Amino acid sequence: MTAVNPVVIAITLALALLVASKLFRYGGGKLQPAGSGRYLALDGLRGYLAFFVFLHHSCIWYFYLKTGRWELPPSNLFVMLGQGSVALFFMVTSFLFTTKVLNSKVHRIDWFQLYLSRVARLFPLYMLTVGMLLLFVAIRSNWTLSVSLESLIDSVFKWLAFTINGKPDINGIQNTSIMVASVTWSLPFEWFFYLCLPLLAVCLNGHVSLRGVVFSCFALYLMVGVWTPKMIVLSSFLGGMVAAVICRYEPWKKLLADRWFSFVALALLLIVTQLPSAYDSLALVLLSLVFIIVAAGNRLFGVLDNSPVRWMGELSYGIYLLHGLVLFFIIHFVLGREVVSELAPLAFWSVICLITPLVLIAAHLAHLGVERPAMSWIKRRSRERSKASGKFNQAL
């Protein structure tokens, strides 16, 4: 057996779905019902994408332990599990918020509330992740300050700022970012897109105030002063934007949701897995076509809308952020790097099978203890703001 045998994907995914089903059934899982405005197929898609990123980094870990180089695995399929999944994550984001902008012609956007909700959605769990990262750094540093206090504060601040201004090593620990599997690189792209939304509203004739446009321009000016996006990666968002326009037309949605387009989507995915990178024009076009089909409501023969997969979708942000920490913890602090580096592929993937439930449990607990309270607070804040606005309008 080789370390890039596709069979391990099927085995670990089946295990993950089993664990997710148990967590959903017995662990306080709660899903939004059909017809509640949720895109059920996208909920399920997010679950697969987050888990595939975990498998992508697990494969990278195998070769990293052998060679000392953190680089893409020698398999187009395992490369696409990571790059293709992140590209599709970007499309999910752009689809949802472009749809919101398009709908703002009728349902006006409360821009303050929108950005507050993004902070509440991304910040708390990210802070937990950075906190765990700092704990691991402290343990590996033997609780000793190895750099100047100024250097330590500067590096920590850059991590707290979603690594927009870089993800430096902390306290002299080389390759600090490997502790989180370097996943934070995608977050500046998310924030860049969010900051572009008022400008997108102008282009699409959506609802936005002059103040919102000024804020967008100023925030983007500050951001690009310390961070330069790769345009080919940024173009991943275009697929979701196109999908948002297409899915406004019911005849097209009905056509794309047909089971025959499930075959088309799977065939396109099969082609994509043969390509060396998700970040080239052909791969992004093919991934965009797949995404458009899914966004139209096609559930790919039902694999996207069952409860375990949708629950994994609820946990997707936690799976994405926390899996690197779990991998690092088990490999370094439990089994030992030297021991794991000597494992044959079958033994290594057996370890990953044991880690899989831990990743889902960690994400589940983080969702219930961190994400859900933050989202509940945002909903209460939104209701209070709406009531206050209504009272003000009545007074006028």
pLDDT by 10s per residue, the chain, length 396: 899 999 999 999 999 999 999 999 888 777 776 554 568 899 999 999 999 999 999 999 999 999 999 999 999 999 999 999 999 999 999 999 999 999 998 888 989 889 999 999 999 999 999 999 999 999 999 999 999 999 999 999 999 999 999 999 999 999 999 999 999 999 999 999 999 999 999 999 988 989 999 999 999 999 999 999 999 999 999 999 999 999 999 999 999 999 999 999 999 999 999 999 999 999 999 999 999 999 999 999 999 988 999 999 999 999 999 999 999 999 999 999 999 999 999 999 999 999 999 999 999 999 999 999 988 888 777 777 666 655 434 443
142: left (phi over 0), alpha (psi -120 to 50) or beta: left
**pTM of the complete model:** 0.94
Q: Map out the domains of the chain as residue ranges.
A: 7-390
Which residues are within 8 A (CB) of 211 and not within 5 positions of it... i.e. 6 or more apart?
none
Residue among 109, 151, 181 at smallest CA distance from 330: 181
The angle subtended at Cα 230 by Cα 225 and Cα 235, nearest 5°, is 120
The angle subtended at Cα 129 by Cα 125 and Cα 134, nearest 5°, is 145
